Structure 1
Amino acid sequence: MSGKTVNSAIFLLVIGNAMALISDVFVKLAEPGEAVFLFAFLRSLITLLLLLPFCLSIKPQGFFKGARVHFLRAHIHFGGMLCMVVALSHLPLATANALFYAAPILVMVLSAVLFGERLKRLSLLAVFSGFAGILVILRPVEFNWAALAALGAALALALGALLVRKLPEQQSTGHKLLLNYLLLLPAAGFMAWWEGAEWTTQLLLNALGSAVFILGYNISVLLAYRQVDASQVTSAEYTGLIWAVVLGWVMFAEQPDLWFLTGSAMIVIPLVMIGIQQGRRNRHRIHV
């Protein structure tokens, strides 16, 4: 694998994470508590429509294969989306995103519990350090419903990642994304109807912006991981926290304190170390 290819993949991940944070900015621009279900429905509908041109080549045979797992994963995703909106509406941008990084830690824990996978020393360090980092960021006086929602979003991300293992391997990423939004749309539509909130131009624009940029993130990640092994560039995903600090400062005048910086380092550094270690092992196997 050439260094040029790896650098290209890293660049895509850095830009992709910037787009993910811009998507979060559009969520945060909405008023706290404003039409949460309607926003989630509009974003899901717009994302589904944006995905359609990329999925024209999908064959109708076996289109709904693995429907039960897709259905479960879609509704976990919907719950996570609602938690994300609540968290971003009430927490600083950087704080919410630091808590979202609990997802890979939860993946490790749940993999051990559900699939009997053994955690290595560095993974155990990441788990304990990560949870300690969350406590440092939140502190008992800071723990509220918004913080709980951020951890709920992280749990949804972790469960979604684990359920990917149960999806049909022959289905493309676009196919899986399409089914995800297609299956969650009825529940999202019903909850938006039950909420009874009024549609506004600003809400629609926020949902559109969030949908476009999160789809841009998904495409960037897909292109990056097509070029190289994931373990070689995964650490670039954590540049999202840097973007969160920068955009939070520029857009919302948020200034991270020492508690945030310390807790974020406790969460991210062990995860980066795991990525570096995996990359070295893969390169060693190639050379051998």
Structure 2
Amino acid sequence: MTLDPSGTVQSVSNFSLKDEICDYWSDRAATFDLSASHRIEGRYGLPEWQQLVRAACTLPPTEDLVGWQVLDIACGTGEISRVLTSLGASVTGLDFSETMLGLARQKLAGADWRSVLSDAEAMVQLEDASFDLAVTRHLAWTLTHPQDAYAEWLRVLKPGGRLLVVDGNFRAPKSPWQRLRNLLANWLSGRQPPQGDRDRHDAILDRLPYRDGLNAERLTIDLERAGFDVVGPLPVRPLYGRGMRGYGLAERLRQSAANRFALVAVRPTGQGI
């Protein structure tokens, strides 16, 4: 409780923006895997994601991650963790939504996977230099304190450890080609209703550091400020092209019209925290 200038007692809420974000994604958890943006289809999508992870780690096309300790940051329902465990990695899935983690535990039962309930910006449960690789998808643009997060991600990686970020500039203006793809998709299947509560989503996004959009160039600058060496981008077209062949044409057009990117960064060897 606090007093306003007139002396009237006012209540103070402890419900923060981060709490809003957690609640928003928790509320979406039950239908999360229904979205082609999130579910990784097994026949075509999984192999493309496996190849992206191998490329991020500079591994040959047939080599696996047996013996690797890998962190899936903001793992959600466990789709990226499923890719990582399919490559033989020992995976830690971290998320601040217990609802999301509960679904991931069901999905990954029996796999070499453990869950950690934690904020991606303050991973106090994780020890320094614990992981060979960290992967995160569709998280960076939602961070409330990006530099705090990147410092934590750097801390938990081993020297020489790699970070793979797959994200998108979801507020960038669409190119004429992208608009045409969406128009064709709507003509084929009708305009799709927004996923989740769009007003609630936008009200959160308007208060985030990356509210004007996040692209690979901006993320590169911020990761380098945190101490990473940014290796460079990786192509995402295979994920949302060949990797989407398990979906209908309309959904494939929509997914390929998004402004997504993948970026690889490395914790320099010999670097102290």
TM tier, shorter chain?
under 0.3
Q: Normalising by the residue count of structure 2, what TM-score does the alignment of the two structures yield?
A: 0.26
TM norm structure 1: 0.25
Between Structure 1 and Structure 2, which shows a larger proportion of helix residues? Answer: 1
Higher relative contact order (CA 8 A, sep 6+): 1
